Copies of this chain bind each other. A is one copy, B any other.
Amino acid sequence: MPLHSRIEPTIAAAIAAGQGGKAPPKLARALDYAVNPGGARIRPTICLSVAMACGDGQPAVANAAATAIELIHCASLVHDDMPCFDDADIRRGKPSVHKAFGEPLALLTGDSLIIMSFEVLARAAAIDPARGIDLIRILGESTGMPGGICAGQGWESEATIDLGAYHRAKTGALFTAATRMGAAAAGYDPEAWTELGARIGEAFQVADDLRDALYDEDTLGKPAHQDEIHNRPNAVSELGVRGAIRRLEDILSGAIASIPSCPGEAALCEMVRKQAERLTPVVPAQHAV
User: A: which residues have CB within 8 A of B?
Assistant: 17-28, 31, 75, 79, 82, 84-85, 101-105, 107-108, 110-112, 114-116, 118-119, 121-123, 125-126, 129-130, 132-133, 136-137, 140-141, 143-148, 150-151, 153-158, 162, 165
What is the predominant secondary structure among interface residues of chain A facing chain B? Answer: helix
Complex copy number for this chain: 2
A141 to B153, CA, bound (A): 27
Contact for A23 among B84, B85, B145, CB less than 8 A: B145
A140 to chain B, nearest CB (A): 4
A155 and B24 form a contact (CB under 8 A): yes
B84 and A107 form a contact (CB under 8 A): yes
A257 to chain B, nearest CB (A): 27
A183 to chain B, nearest CB (A): 17
Contact for A129 among B31, B114, B133, CB less than 8 A: B133
Name the residue of chain B whose CB is nearest to the CB of A85: B104
A22 to chain B, nearest CB (A): 4
Q: A119-B144, A144-B112, A150-B112 are in contact. Are A22 and B104 (CB under 8 A)?
A: no
A162 to B21, CA, bound (A): 12
B104 and A28 form a contact (CB under 8 A): no
A82 to B83, CA, bound (A): 12
A157 and B122 form a contact (CB under 8 A): no
Q: A122-B140, A136-B122 are in contact. Are A26 and B154 (CB under 8 A)?
A: yes
A125 to B143, CA, bound (A): 19
Besides A23-B151, A104-B157, 6 new A-B residue pairs in contact (Cβ under 8 A), listed by A number: A23-B145, A23-B147, A24-B154, A31-B145, A111-B144, A129-B129
B111 and A147 form a contact (CB under 8 A): no
Instruction: Chain B residues near A105: list those with CB within 8 A.
Output: 154, 157
A165 and B22 form a contact (CB under 8 A): yes
Contact for A136 among B82, B107, B136, B155, CB less than 8 A: B136
A141 and B154 form a contact (CB under 8 A): no
Instruction: Chain B residues near A17: list those with CB within 8 A.
Output: 146
A115 and B151 form a contact (CB under 8 A): no
Instruction: Chain B residues near A121: list those with CB within 8 A.
Output: 136
A154 to B156, CA, bound (A): 29
A122 to B131, CA, bound (A): 12
A153 to B136, CA, bound (A): 26
